[in-house]
Amino acid sequence: MRLLLVEDEIDIQRFLRTSLEESGYEVEAAPDGKTAERLVGEGPFDILIVDLGLPDQDGISLILKLRQLGVRAPVLILSARRSVDDRVRGLEQGGDDYLTKPFALAELLARLRNLLKRNSPALNEATRLRVLDLELDLLRREASRGGELLQLTQQEFVLLEYLCRNAGRVVTRSMILDKVWGMRIQPDTNVVDVHIYRLRGKVDGNRQQPLIRTLRGVGYVLKDR
């Protein structure tokens, strides 16, 4: 996966490059719009990360310019602004995504994956999800572990489904709030933790192998091996 990272802050560029490369991306970095345009001309990219505040031009203008140059790859917009620009919303509706700074790495990676998936040919939507001995029937909205039916509420099922779809990867609290409850908020209480705690009680109980793992300071992982 070739990724173009357009970010002028050297510190941010450096740690992003490292962690993106760790996740298997082949990263080219550009500190400004001009370099980005040149790099795009040299070879195709699968995905782009563009910061809005570039030294030589506005990130949005750059994206629009690249689109005109024939770049089809999805873009993840990074913004240090407080509010979401109408033009960013426009791009979001056009299939791109945005993330406000500061962000959790896990969330950045998840959004990149989503963008790539969204832009690849649609797979047949599965009606069953299986992670180790955990099985979710999406049609009947039932979950079972080791053949034993789990008594989940509607909300818990949606949460578990989200964890299963991201099995093996870290999901953060704000990702859970965004995807399960549909809001980008930052509660100063541990609301998400309590939901996970309850779900874990039902899914793991006192079974031998716990599935839901907490990564403190980062988020949660549903183990897939």
Partner 1 sequence: MSLKTAKPIMHSAAWRISLWPTLAFAIGTMLVFVFLHRFVASDIQRRSDAWLSGEVQVLADVAERTPKDALYDRVVGEVAELAGKEVPNKDLSEGTSNDSVFFLQAGDNGSLKLWVGAGTGEPNLRAIQTRRIVPDHPTDLQVKGFGVPFRVASTRINDGSYIYLGLSERDELRVLRSLRLRFVLLWLLLVLLGFGIVFFTTRRMLSHVRRITEAASTIGHSDLGARVPTTEQNDEVGHLALTLNRMLDRIENSIHQLHTITDSLAHDLRSPLTAIRGKLEMSLSASTQGEQAEPIVSAIEELDRLTDFLNKSLDVAEAKADALRLTRSEIDLGELLRVMTDLYEPSMVEKGLQIKLHSIASVKIEADAALIHRMIANLFDNELNHLPTACTVIVRLKTEDEVTEIIFEDDGPGFSAEVIDHLFERRVKGMESNGHGLGLAFIDAVARAHGGKVIATNRESGGARIAVTLPLAGKEPTRPPIAANHRAN
Binding site for partner 1 (CB under 8 A): 9, 11-12, 15-16, 18-19, 53, 80-87, 89, 100-105, 155, 177, 181-191, 194-195, 197-198, 215-218
Read out DSSP for 47-109?
A: EEEEESB-SSSBHHHHHHHHHHTT--S-EEEEE-SSS--HHHHHHHHTT-EEEESS--HHHHH
Hey, what are 200's tokens? Answer: 């874990």
Cβ–Cβ under 8 Å, residues 41 and 63: no
Instruction: Report how far residue 104's alpha carbon sits from residue 220's, in angstroms, rounded to the nearest whole number.
Output: 12
- We find the least distance from the C-beta atom of residue 52 to partner 1, in angstroms, to be 9
Looking at the Cβ atoms of 39 and 191, the one nearer to partner 1 is 191
Cis peptide before 102 (omega within 30 of 0): yes
DSSP helix/strand/coil, 31: coil
Q: Which is nearest to 140 in space by CA: 165, 159, 157, 162? A: 157
Instruction: Report how far residue 133's alpha carbon sits from residue 216's, in angstroms, rounded to the nearest whole number.
Output: 25
Instruction: Report how far residue 136's alpha carbon sits from residue 143's, in angstroms, rounded to the nearest whole number.
Output: 4
Query: 8 φ, ψ to 5°?
Result: -90, -25
- We find the least distance from the C-beta atom of residue 55 to partner 1, in angstroms, to be 12
Looking at the Cβ atoms of 145 and 195, the one nearer to partner 1 is 195
- We find the least distance from the C-beta atom of residue 223 to partner 1, in angstroms, to be 13
Looking at the Cβ atoms of 81 and 117, the one nearer to partner 1 is 81
- We find the least distance from the C-beta atom of residue 10 to partner 1, in angstroms, to be 9
- We find the least distance from the C-beta atom of residue 191 to partner 1, in angstroms, to be 5
Looking at the Cβ atoms of 116 and 191, the one nearer to partner 1 is 191
Looking at the Cβ atoms of 43 and 102, the one nearer to partner 1 is 102
- We find the least distance from the C-beta atom of residue 56 to partner 1, in angstroms, to be 16
Looking at the Cβ atoms of 34 and 87, the one nearer to partner 1 is 87
